[in-house]
Structure 1
């Protein structure tokens, strides 16, 4: 709760101590939950844009943005947490000076941010954001530069999400899936995207060798999805060897890897699926 003693100096000091206390408690709570600390850490603009793939940027102008949408920083990720509470007392005097100015109604200049989808990352004005959040404000004026990315900037809450985006970007750069195929080839384990890329490229190499022709990346992506992924997934569904919680691409990878381990070939037939089913049954009983 924001206090008001009538003394802007005393209240600013109280504001800072309250923000620091909440930051420490949030960090401790994340540690107790086990492995969730990166959820409360400020996100790095460079890491996010690298994971998503930078395409272009353009200046939007000055507008009012929601403070809750500001999730990270360009260069001060260690100085503030995800809610922009200070992580140390290093800049306490500057913080309290801004808090006093805000409390006495002084004009505060706009902050400077990058916008990536619905997320904002501070270039300049970290302390202004921190003070505004501490005082319970909902919005802040900002000069906005929008950044366009290869992948949609959604579902980013932790570094694991960034790792998944990073590997998915690499897959799409190597195998440019579009439309239905792009949506279908989704997995939860980040490095599985690398396995999918290698699987598609290996399939294309074998196909080009057998046909004596060359296919570009676009053709490779289209043909693998239509001639390999969709028919095999139908076989997996009919054979009943897809796990109840498995995504289509995860089921394909698991069965394809099991097929090669058991039979050492790349052909698909009913015998392959029966061998996979039998192996799965044995593993459940053991």
Structure 2
């Protein structure tokens, strides 16, 4: 590998220094995170099983041996507590093995490829945690890996920390109950995980009322497409026109909020201008007066 970080000419001494430096950085990073009141999941390695369970596993295929960026390795299959998010060791338990690999790397020995699962543009270590840890400690940017690509039900985007998984989990459950596609699938996004449950219940209730009125059965795909076209889009347009959507409020969240207020106000499932006017008046009463209104 040639001269690397802290090269004193003695691979054994340098490997020991490498390990102590990695441990020191991990301890200081954990302390800084605690002082900032950061959530543990910001620094903790991501769990492959948790990510795939939240996104929904469809299948996998072996993609061969590749050279991948070390920065794109964010988690582990079974050692999430042994290394932090940057793969620094969280204890001295495997120090001997870590230093042995560091010496091998420093003396130019051939290091076998690691094994990883790829989910989107992120990688999770199946075998080779210590190799990843040593490589990152030595400032290496790329590593050879045998890659297995995992296909998921939800697109693997927006998964940066463990707390993101709850939102993905509930969105997946909602889409399994109500199989939105295309434009509709993108439109029914919310920020509160529990809103996905309310959304699924709302669609199913609408379908039940519609099937009862029409005297005909509606399958899940038809339910999703008809609710979006006949209920969601027209109502969201009314909400926009009435000016009752918050500045940062997603359309689906606005729909759920206004639909809930509508039912509390009139105990009906009808939509008209009077309903939106009542919602708007209720919203104004609930808002505190602006400074200019008090003068």
Residue 201 of structure 1: aligned partner? 204
Q: Does 2:219 correspond to 1:227?
A: no
The CA deviation string for residues 1-60 of structure 1, in whole angstroms up to 9 with x for no partner, is 921111111111111111111111221222222243211110000000011110010111
Residue 149 of structure 1: aligned partner? 152
Q: Does 2:61 correspond to 1:49?
A: no
Residue 210 of structure 1: aligned partner? 213
Question: What's the offset of the Cα at 1:244?
Answer: 0.7
Secondary structure of residue in 2 paired with 1:46: helix
> After superposition, where does 1:179-198 map in structure 2 within 5 Å?
179-198=182-201
Q: Does 2:170 correspond to 1:167?
A: yes
Quick one: which of 117, 121, 135 aligns to 2:124? 121
Q: Does 2:63 correspond to 1:64?
A: no
The CA deviation string for residues 243-271 of structure 1, in whole angstroms up to 9 with x for no partner, is 11111111111111111122222111112
Secondary structure of residue in 2 paired with 1:55: strand
Residue 273 of structure 2: aligned partner? 270
Measured in 1, the distance between the counterparts of 2:24 and 2:95 equals: 13
User: Where do 5+ consecutive residues of structure 1 fail to align?
Assistant: none
Residue 83 of structure 1: aligned partner? 86
Measured in 1, the distance between the counterparts of 2:238 and 2:31 equals: 49
Structure 1 residue ranges, 4+ long, deviating more than 6 angstroms after superposition: none
Quick one: which of 157, 161, 182 aligns to 1:158? 161
Residue 37 of structure 1: aligned partner? 40
Measured in 2, the distance between the counterparts of 1:157 and 1:33 equals: 18
Give the TM-score taking structure 2 as reference length. 0.95
Question: What's the offset of the Cα at 1:130?
Answer: 0.2
Between stretches 5-14 and 259-268, larger displacement belongs to 259-268
User: Where do 5+ consecutive residues of structure 2 fail to align?
Assistant: 290-295
Quick one: which of 236, 240, 248 aligns to 2:239? 236
Give the TM-score taking structure 1 as reference length. 0.98
Secondary structure of residue in 1 paired with 2:9: coil
Quick one: which of 2, 6, 16 aligns to 1:3? 6
Measured in 2, the distance between the counterparts of 1:193 and 1:30 equals: 31
RMSD over equivalenced CA pairs, Å = 1.1
Quick one: which of 140, 145, 156 aligns to 2:143? 140
